[in-house]
Structure 1
């Protein structure tokens, strides 16, 4: 979950690394640190808190000029967010420095061994043991020392190191944790995300599982942990530095909400032919024998999967299960070669989802990934992948990634339905999908009353969300956004469950947001949810109702009415979610919270 940057080349390493860390701060902002390889040895600066604290410290006490450096932004696991626990960590002689992402599971045993041999470990982290081990085994070749040490480590980790006695060299290693190479002219980069070096190069190299990479200014070499040369895949990043900048918005989240019409259109691009037919060439899977679909995901991606379940079962007549990825492999799920597992992850590095994917493949299931990040681990380990093409998403709270995941799920559901001959009116559904970018744009242009409403609720202590059918996962997603950003009690409920307990929470003035299904496609559900609105309003709730244009039945019972375009009932989440994103962002801003970097959270959860 941490951000890692390494550089060797002809530029000022301090500037390159700090610039990269700034682009990766969304991955962790408990502390930050940097080590440069200077003429007199290694020089290090690190501070608890956000990157700005490190910048201030370096302004007061500058590091020497250098052309090689490594840096880190931390999301704390072992040890609190203090100066001492901040990375990089050094060995006793201060000749080797290491930054690390992940968890080294056998660090306690290794730490005891080192202490018994006279090493003094000063931090509470698992990372520091690696610096001491590297210092012990180094014999002039840092890459070989890294291979030796990695063979002793258990767990998931990315490691990047420099040594004072091997000038111009940066070495990295990865197991179950992201690390990518950026290739430049007379310079090379290492990072946990391409965003770190996108201002300097768009040429990248994937690193595979259990590989060690040695960077010099004039070249890159990759081996496995045993020292055998490894085959790697090079690729071109199809977005530039401007895509990862705020572009005049106060927050990345605001920018990414505004980018959703384009992101949805880009996800559809190339997958619908001029004749209106689906062209899903990426799905090079034999789907005929599929008898069951299982979706695994976490957080917001799980909510996308929960919505996909409705579409898949309705359009394919296949049973579909949706699983929280962190629970999946521990309950002994029933999988076989007739099961299609869909793994959803924005980053492609979500550790819980990756472990679920691996378990599914061990059981013989086919795995299809939905992902936004080219070259990441989950797509590489899947049988096929559908990229969402949302572009970089920097804000921790996901917005455009969620909508594009929904689109990808709809495309897969329709494709499966066509393969099976079960999809009703596929051409009409494709046409309505194609209308989604414009509809999302229409919603965005009507959001000022939602912003005003959010500001008026800045002192509310709780908000409840209700929904039926696909509106239920939308309610869950709305509640999650409010928890993430506004740090307040927010819960989403299936509206039909209201009388089975949650109605006890209703009190005078409590804001309740209700996602109303279309009266056209779900008339019975519509009638029932109107009754739910009346029930909570009678008990003093302040009703905030999201309903499609032309739905007049809800108006008498809505204290605040938010209109969305009428669309196919299963596609309604594409437009119904947007007001909830805007609402959460504005309410958090009114409370004075950091929108892009909410407390205790990081963008990519790369540890279990």
Structure 2
């Protein structure tokens, strides 16, 4: 969470570069924003609220912040409410040291008490503010700027990505520990960001920092050392997506753009991974993977719903599998054996809880695999194996195309393992080949907007499904609640009668995901009849195979397809329901309240 941008080498353009970088990072936090520019002096401006508030304050001032070196920050609050005082950057009492920080400093209270006892006055409620005071104290003790920053870092415990600028210093000092930080290498300038979009407009060449590394950006370029100051050789990677891909491309919201990008994202995820002639899945990234005896998934939020889909797919193929919330696994891990594979499902590859769970699994001797979207992310680098979903950049806080891509990647993963035991994947391969076109049809023909108009203003919204439709029901409810702020819950359809029916009324529409015509579909129709008997309106998301439409008040149609690909199509309809409902209610769709895109704190 939170976004960091830094730049050295852009001269008079520094302020504009920093502000534009913050604009591309607002999906990481939008409680407040601020900038600090150095040389000459040190000029800091910050404001609570969205970035526009900061821009307005700068425009209204007599002079704009000036300098050739700059850092900026957009915040998702952890310590202290979103106020001007709690916004980053934070400075020392002299105003000569400015710091931006992502993460949590666990020993900040002890450091704050120590500094207060020495006469330091604090202006904020944040944990971050101890850092500039520690740097200032080290400078007062005679240390040079780099040594002073290192000294401060030695004192703090916890997770952090930190950037520091000093008055009259043409350098940015930066370090990471359990929170992402990446350098951008331009022809005449060097950039720093918590995510690549921060500087993608200026360069696609990047250097990913690892935990414990310290970077210095200056007019001559950049250098990276370890915590002891020993130089570290770092490779420069060129990212394979452009600044244009992170724009809205004429759409009103990133979320709608990314929903409509799903057919393209799935084609990217499937490219080179289907042997249609042989009817087999061929995922080169899995070639070195041992055949596991059991699989444990660890994930959070939307990725956890994808993991539940993976469990269902693997168990159907006869492969033992379980899914765990990463936050629970990290503190109470399940037993692992020599043949256990732990799969971390994480869009960003930086999700703190998932990384902690993967590290715990590794420490216990499990083989690990990262299923992620971001090349060279922390999860990708730390795990034994990686499977990229290849969905491209996703800016909207509510995950859409990355969830669909996760489902497809997990279908490929399952088929690859099942084929090792002689399973026939011909029908699945054919369905995956057709999936992008089927998905495009759903997006083109959806009547979700009309369904939303019918049920706008309802009391609550319930989503139900069985088997692989159950994770889709959970995800549909999550999407709905996180961008509409309306009450929504997802359930395994059979659980309705174990308590939830008490909440069902004629003001609680029930979205039932029913595809195919197997026993699960027929049992779900039984659950539909139960809510219909309580006067609840029913919206069926269906391919028509089970005849559930006759019991529904409205229908969201999907093409008939393989059981493994049907959930992707049903999910797209529910994404559109959530989007149009939020749009009707005037919600902040791309930046829902209290949420951020990448959750990098536990």
Cα drift, residue 509 of structure 1: 3.5
Deviation at 1:115, TM superposition (A): 1.1
Name which of 264, 268, 277 aligns with 2:280.
277
8 Å contact from structure 1 (residues 295, 343) kept in 2: yes
1:149 matches 2:190:
no
- SS of 1:69's equivalent in the other structure is strand
Which position in structure 1 is the counterpart of 2:593? 599
Does structure 1 retain, via aligned residues, the 8 Å contact 2:516–2:545? no
Q: 2:290 aligns with which of 276, 287, 293?
A: 287
Cα distance between partner residues in 1 of 2:457 and 2:173: 50
Distance 2:314 2:233 in 1: 38
In 2, distance between residues paired with 1:332 and 1:35?
A: 43
Contact 2:245-2:393 at 8 Å conserved across structures: yes
Aligned counterpart, 1:584? 578
The whole-number CA distance in structure 1 between the counterparts of 2:131 and 2:448 is 51
> What residue is the counterpart of 1:371 in the other structure?
372
1:414, 1:526 → 2: CA distance? Answer: 23
Q: Give 1:332's aligned residue.
A: 333
Q: How does 1:30-429 map to 2 (within 5 A)?
A: 30-39=31-40, 41-61=41-61, 62-138=63-139, 139=142, 141-166=144-169, 168-273=170-275, 275=277, 276-288=279-291, 290-315=292-317, 317-421=318-422, 423=423, 425-429=424-428
Asked if 1:516 is matched to 2:511, the reply is no
Change (3 A) 1:456 1:200: same
**In 2, distance between residues paired with 1:59 and 1:403?**
42
The Cα of 1:434 is off from its aligned counterpart by 1.4
| TM-aligned CA deviation for residue 120 of structure 1 | 1.4
Which residue does 1:457 correspond to in 2? 455
Q: 2:497 aligns with which of 493, 496, 499?
A: 499
Give 1:550 deviation, angstroms. Answer: 4.5
Cross-structure match for 1:434: 433
Comparing 506-515 with 103-112, greater Cα deviation is found at 506-515
The 2-side partners of 1:481 and 1:141 are apart by 50
- The TM-score, its normalising length taken from structure 2, stands at 0.97
Distance across 1 between alignment mates of 2:274 and 2:359? 31
**Number of the residue aligned with 1:5:** 5
Distance (whole Å) between structure 1 residues aligned to residue 598 and residue 267 of structure 2: 25
Question: What is the number of residues matched between the two proteins?
Answer: 597
2:36/2:65 contact within 8 Å kept: no
Structure 1 stretches of 5 or more lacking a match? Answer: none
Aligned equivalents of 1:268, 1:142: Cα separation in 2: 50
Q: In the alignment, which residue of structure 1 is the partner of 2:476?
A: 478
Counterpart Cα distance in 2 of 1:555 and 1:376: 44
TM-superposed deviation, 1:604: 0.4
Q: Distance in 1 between matches of 2:330 and 2:130?
A: 30
Partners of 2:144 and 2:30 in 1: CA distance: 32
| Structure 1 residues 249-286: Cα deviation after superposition (integer angstroms, max 9, x where no partner) | 00000000000000011011122246343222212434
CA contact (8 A) 1:303 1:476 kept: yes
Cα shift readout 1:117-136 (whole Å, capped 9, x = no counterpart) = 22111111010100111111
Assess, with a 3 A threshold, how the Cα gap between structure 1 residues 286 and 585 changes in structure 2: closer, same or farther: closer
Aligned pairs for 1:554-573 (under 5 A) are 554-573=548-567
Over 3 Å counting, the alpha-carbon distance change for 1:436 and 1:136 in structure 2 is same
Deviations 1:349-394 (A, max 9, x none): 1000000000000011011111111221111111111111111111
CA distance in 2, matches of 1:124, 1:179: 24
Partner of 1:547: 542
Q: Work out the CA distance in 2 between the residues paired with 1:104 and 1:171.
A: 18
Instruction: Determine if contact 2:8/2:219 at 8 Å carries over to the other structure.
Output: yes
SS in 2 for 1:295: strand
More divergent stretch after superposition (139-148 vs 362-371): 139-148
Inter-partner Cα distance in structure 2 for 1:389 and 1:208:
22
Separation in 2, partners of 1:461, 1:195: 39
User: In structure 2, how many angstroms separate the alpha carbons of the residues matched to 1:287 and 1:145?
Assistant: 47
Query: C-alpha separation between the residues in 2 aligned to 1:492 and 1:10?
Result: 50
Distance in 2, matches of 1:323 and 1:394, equals 26
Question: Which structure 2 segments of 5+ residues have no match?
Answer: none
Q: Matched residues in 2 for 1:373 and 1:135: separation?
A: 37
| Shift, 1:429, TM fit | 1.4
The question of whether the paired residues in 1 share the 8 Å contact of 2:281 and 2:425 is answered with no
> Is 1:467 the counterpart of 2:468 in the alignment?
no
What does 1:522-533 correspond to in 2, within 5 Å?
522=518, 524-533=519-528
**Deviation, structure 1 residue 13:** 0.9
* SS class of match (1:45): strand
